[in-house]
Chain A
Amino acid sequence: AQSVTQPDIHITVSEGASLELRCNYSYGATPYLFWYVQSPGQGLQLLLKYFSGDTLVQGIKGFEAEFKRSQSSFNLRKPSVHWSDAAEYFCAVDPPRGTASKLTFGTGTRLQVTL
């Protein structure tokens, strides 16, 4: 069964500092990979996704993520964090086409930004 691990439950960074949120997945083949962000009391907003091709993907709000097949990782990065980035971040995977679809989420990483 596929699984997603976000090893960091809570991260605190200073505004203007760089950010990296870790995500590792376990699946036989390369799944589709997503990062979503959730502000308190809100739904999930898609930041970026990887289906195939260039392993460095750009998303909204200045975020990017890099897919590393050898490490089964899809880490999210931002060079300079803004206070408005404080939220919960979820990594998610979906099996590739031809298999039963089921979006599986990691447990999330809560980002706190200090001024």
Chain B
Amino acid sequence: DAMVIQNPRYQVTQFGKPVTLSCSQTLNHNVMYWYQQKSSQAPKLLFHYYDKDFNNEADTPDNFQSRRPNTSFCFLDIRSPGLGDAAMYLCATSRDLQETQYFGPGTRLLVL
């Protein structure tokens, strides 16, 4: 049974056209994370929500935003995607901070 679900698995967007990626979880975890993983690189944390508290990493571009309307869902909004934003975007959850993170299958974003 899928616990961290990401939709869609593949997303194609145009340069500059806003795009939203979705993540949902059935674990009732407090923390949800978004990572960006470029080809052949390690995942890089963009931000996380601890419950409703949003925590942005210092080097995350302003182009990236996130919303968490409830415990189960978290969205990644890319306001104006550039070619350099093409990557795999991974969502993860954990029961609390500094506890094991469980990852979704990822959404691969292609920017044309």
Binding site for B on A (CB under 8 A): 32, 34, 36, 41-46, 49, 90, 94-97, 101-103, 105-108
- What are 28 of the A-B contact pairs (CB < 8 Å)? A34-B100, A36-B103, A41-B88, A41-B106, A42-B105, A42-B106, A43-B6, A43-B90, A43-B103, A43-B104, A43-B105, A44-B90, A44-B92, A46-B100, A46-B101, A46-B102, A90-B42, A90-B43, A94-B98, A95-B98, A96-B98, A101-B97, A101-B98, A102-B45, A103-B101, A107-B41, A108-B40, A108-B41
Of residues 42 to 69 in B, which have CB atoms within 8 Å of A's CB atoms? 42-43, 45
Ranked nearest first, the 8 interchain pairs of A and B with the lowest CB-CB distance are A105-B42, A101-B97, A44-B103, A43-B103, A43-B105, A101-B98, A43-B106, A107-B42
B interface size (C-beta, 8 A): 21
Chain A min CB distance to B89 (Å):
10
Chain B residues whose C-beta falls within 8 Å of the C-beta of A101 in the assembled complex: 97-98
Which residue in chain B gives the minimum CB-CB distance to A99?
Answer: B98
Additional A-B contacts beyond A97-B98, A108-B42 (12; CB < 8 A): A36-B103, A43-B103, A43-B104, A46-B100, A46-B103, A90-B42, A95-B98, A96-B98, A101-B98, A102-B45, A103-B33, A105-B42
Nearest CB on B from A47, distance (A): 11
Count CB-based A-B contacts (< 8 Å): 45
Instruction: List, in ascending order, chain A residues with CB within 8 A of B6's CB.
Output: 43
**Nearest B residue to A100 by beta-carbon distance?**
B97
- Cα of A105 to Cα of B41 in the assembled complex, Å: 10
- CA distance in complex: A102, B60 (Å): 14
Q: Which of B6, B33, B45, B101 has the most CB of A within 10 A?
A: B101
Q: Which residues of A contact B33 (CB under 8 A)?
A: 103
**In the complex, chain B residues 1-31 whose Cβ is within 8 Å of any chain A Cβ:** 4, 6
Least Cβ–Cβ distance between B36 and chain A, in angstroms: 12
Residues of A with C-beta under 8 A to B105? 42-43
Q: What residues of chain B lie closer than 8 Å to A94, measured between beta carbons?
A: 98
Q: A44 vs B102: C-alpha distance in the bound complex, in angstroms?
A: 8
In angstroms, how far is the closest chain B Cβ from the Cβ of A35? 12
Report Cα–Cα, A42/B90, bound state, in Å.
9
